[in-house]
Amino acid sequence: MKRVGFILKISPDKVQEYKELHRAVWPEMMDALRRNGWSRYSLFMGEDGLLFGYFETPESFGDALERMSKEEVNHKWQELVAPYVDNPNGAHADESMQELVEVFHLD
């Protein structure tokens, strides 16, 4: 199982709205994540909009993103959250995630 950490930046003026969206993630989106190997998925965010995500997947971050890119519900979710991502080129959240390198792990 591959442990994945990533960062993403949410517009500081949209932090509260972004949190609200994630209090009611669509059940079909959660099903798609599970179906495509995303487990133990968590998001953490500072008040400045810096977001850290963690999940576990059978293969790699790239493979997990690729599998989700084939899900229609993911396209709809990405359109919904796009205005919250602090990204000058307008890319969707799943195109803006920066994978982090694991440097330590304690079981």
Catalytic (active-site) positions: 22
Token pair, residue 96, equals: 């803006």
Query: 72-81 vs 27-35: helix axis angle to the nearest 10?
Result: 120
Q: How many residues does the chain have?
A: 107
User: Residue 8 is encoded by which pair of tokens?
Assistant: 């993403």
